[in-house]
Amino acid sequence: MFERPTGGNAAVLVGLDLGAEGYAETLEELRLLVASAGLETRALVKGRRTRPDPSLFAGTGKVEEIRERLREQDARIAVFNHDLSPAQQRNLEKALDARVMDRTTLILNIFAQRAKSHEGKLQVELAQLEHAATRLVRGWTHLERQRGGRGFLGGMGETQLEVDRRLIGSRVKVLKDKLHKLQRQRSVQRRARSRGNALAVSLVGYTNAGKSTLFNALTHAGTPAANRLFETLDTTTRRLYLPDAGNIVISDTVGFIRDLPHTLVAAFRATLEETIHADLLLHIVDAASEARDVQIDEVNKVLAEIGADGVPQVLVWNKIDRTGAAPGLDRDAYARIVRVRLSAKTGEGVEFLRQTLTEAAASRTSQPTQHERAVQA
């Protein structure tokens, strides 16, 4: 659905300061997102407004500046670090004579490129279609012409807008049915693992925090791990044997990001259910990031949205090789481990995480599992 641009991959980024916290961090995130999408950043246009312009989001003066940057840099794409209304996007493309992408479209683009499994592709297509359906409301006025009764798609007097809405609705229903079947299959697999009495652990965290690198360090799974956003989309599950804990089932999940599109959260709910049914969440944090506190909050928001906020959680302070912090673990007043400090890249401190998993497995034997608690509820 989101085809690669034909006019090259050079882009001008646009980030306006609307007074929200973490403006500088969001600009850095935008650069990483653009790079992950395979685009080349040629320039960054910044500005400050109290509120978005209703028609052009950035205002006429700033739009002229963006247009000039596009011309100077021979770029054909303007990427906004904001969500645009259908009308704003259409007006901007007309004023800039260039393709305009907002933050949600950019993230959907990345997910479409990264999805490898059958389930992942279905989830991405569902998110794309549900996002496109919201753009039909007022953004596609050119499709409001009425169709005659002779067309093979539309009925008598049916507008092109109504035809497109109906076709999208039909495809969405097909995709949801397929994903529901896959969801039932996952449920059967989880029950089988539960009967094996293995501790179920899910890795969660902000995108590019190092989840896949840590997953590989623990399980030797060899899953892709690169320094780019949303490298992992498909959940990967492996067994880990620890001498004093027995078998542990560990799942690596998709990373989160601030303002993650709700259509993606909804579409990937089946995948993210691994976190809901886990006995323990390892919340991986990029300790070297200045925005780590904001990132922790954003991850917790998504966990609450999918109903996983009640699952026990341990913070894993990753990338200490870049901060100079010592490896180790921190406990609360009840002697429970609440944070582990390590480097998944160098392996320093990973033994403390294995100790954490061993203690979690030991305490689990005297408490009901997440699955058992769900059944009892």
Range of the domain at 86: 10-110
User: Last residue of a domain, which of 110, 136, 162?
Assistant: 110
For residues 82 and 230, state if they share a domain.
no
Say if 102 falls within a structural domain. yes
Pairing, β 337-341 against β 328-331? antiparallel
Same domain? For 275 and 372 the reply is: yes
Residues 78 and 217 in one domain: no
Half-sphere exposure of residue 264, counting CA atoms within 13 Å on the CB side?
A: 22
Q: Does 132 fall in a domain?
A: no
Side-chain half-sphere of 4: how many Cα atoms within 13 Å?
A: 8
Q: What region does 234 belong to: left with phi over 0, alpha with psi -120 to 50, or beta?
A: beta
Q: Residue 141: is its pLDDT beyond 50? A: no
Instruction: List the structure tokens of 67.
Output: 């247009």
Would you say residue 310 has pLDDT above 60?
yes
Identify whether residues 221 and 329 lie together within a single domain.
Answer: yes
- pLDDT digit string, tens, across residues 218-258: 998 776 666 666 766 667 889 999 999 999 999 988 888 88
Same structural domain, 217 and 323: yes
Q: Are residues 76 and 224 in the same domain?
A: no
Whether residues 344 and 202 share a domain: the answer is: yes
Same domain for 224 and 342, yes or no, is yes
Read off the pLDDT of residues 339-363 as tens digits, 9 standing for 90 and up: 999 999 999 999 999 999 999 999 8
CATH no. for residue 318?
Answer: 3.40.50.300
Q: How many CB atoms lie within 10 A of CB 92?
A: 24
Q: Please, what is the Cα angle at 202 between 307 and 113, to 5 degrees?
A: 90
- pLDDT attached to residue 103: 92
Instruction: Answer yes or no: is 294 within a domain.
Output: yes
pLDDT at 3 over 90: no
Place of tokens 């021979």: 74
Report the 10 Å Cβ neighbour count for 349: 22
Whether residues 67 and 213 share a domain: the answer is no
In a shared domain, residues 205 and 86? no
Q: Does residue 67 sit within a domain?
A: yes
Answer yes or no: is pLDDT of 40 > 50: yes
Same domain, 230 and 370: yes
What distance in Å separates the CA atoms of residue 86 and residue 100, rounded to the nearest whole number? 11
* Domain CATH for 16: 3.40.50.11060
pLDDT at 224: 61
**Token couple for 295:** 């990132």
Domain count for the chain, please give it.
2
43-57, 101-115, 143-157, range with the lowest pLDDT: 143-157
Give the tokens for residue 52: 């978005």
The tokens of 148 are what? 């005659």
Residue that is last in its domain, among 110, 145, 174: 110
SS3 256: strand
Residue percentage of the chain with pLDDT more than 90: 50
Shared-domain flag, residues 99 and 208: no
Q: What is the mean pLDDT of the chain?
A: 84
Per-residue model confidence (pLDDT) at position 130: 85
Does 334 reside within a domain?
yes
Q: What is the pTM of this model?
A: 0.77
**Which of 62, 95, 110 represents a domain boundary (last residue)?**
110
Q: Are strands 246-252 and 236-242 parallel, antiparallel or unpaired?
A: antiparallel
Asked whether residue 324 is assigned to any structural domain, the reply reads yes
* CA–CA gap between residue 317 and residue 292 (Å, rounded): 10
* Within-domain flag for 171: no
Q: Average pLDDT in the 18-38 region?
A: 90
Is 153 inside any structural domain?
no
